[in-house]
Amino acid sequence: MSQRPYVIDVMISAKTIAAKIEDLCSEITSEFGNTDKLIVVGLLRGSFVFIADLVRELDLPIEVDFLEASSYGDGMESSREVRILKDLRGAIEGRDVLVVEDIVDTGHTLNHVTKLLRSRNPKRLKSIALLDKPSRREVDFRSDWIGFEIPDEFVVGYGIDYAQRNRNLPFIGSVRFTDDPE
C-alpha cells in the first residue's frame, strides 16, 4: 500500500498516561481485592505496552495470557469482521478475568472478544481500554474502565499502530496527513 505523508501530533503525554494508570489500578485492585487469582488477558497486538505497565501497578495475584484479534489490517477502516488469530493458552472457567485493550473505536473487537470469553463461563469478566472513541461506536459496547475519551482522530503510539508502524512511541499521538488541502 502506498503511504500518504503524515506527521504525528502529541495528544496524550507519557506522563499523563502513567498517572492515569496509577488511578485505574487502584480502582481495579479494590474491585478484585478478594480474588485468589486474576487472569489478565491482553489483546494483541495493540495492548502489549498498556498491559505491561498495568500489571506492574496491580497489587493482586495475577496470571497473564494473550489473545490475538485483528480487524483493521494495514488501513484506517475496520473490516467489522473480527478474526481470532491466537486463542488463550489457559482455561478461564470459574476465574476472575480482566481483558485489556488499547482502544475501543467502532466497538466490534472488544464486543466480539468479551462475548467469546463470557461463553466460557468465567466467574467475573471485566474489561479496560486505555482509549475510547465514543463518537465512532457501531455496536452498543462500553468498557468497565476507560483511561481517556478521545475525539474521532486516528491515533498511534503506546502500542497502537498505523500500518504496523509507530507502536514504539511512548505517547499517544494523532495522525495528520500533510497532503490534506486545509
- 172 lines the binding site for ligand HPA (CB under 6 A): no
**Of the listed pieces 2-10, 21-29, 87-95, 107-115, which binds ligand PRP according to CB under 6 A?**
107-115
d(CA 72, CA 23): 30
User: Using N-to-C axis directions, what is the helix angle for 14-31 and 48-57, rounded to 10°?
Assistant: 60
Best CA proximity match to 103, nearest among 136, 54, 55 = 136
Whose Cβ is closer to ligand HPA: residue 17's or residue 39's?
17
Using CB distances below 5 to 8 A depending on partner kind, what does residue 154 bind out of ligand PRP, ligand HPA, none?
ligand HPA
Active site residue 179: no
Scan residues 1-30 and list those touching ligand HPA (CB under 6 A). Answer: none
Window contacting ligand PRP (CB under 6 A); options: 33-41, 68-76, 148-156, 168-176: 68-76
Q: Does 110 bind ligand HPA (CB under 6 A)?
A: no
User: Of the two residues 128 and 160, which places its CB atom closer to ligand HPA in the complex?
Assistant: 160
CB of 103 to ligand HPA, least distance (A): 5
- Which of residues 54 and 160 has its CB atom nearest to ligand HPA in the complex? 160
Which residues are near ligand PRP by CB under 6 A? 43, 45-46, 70-72, 78, 101-109, 161
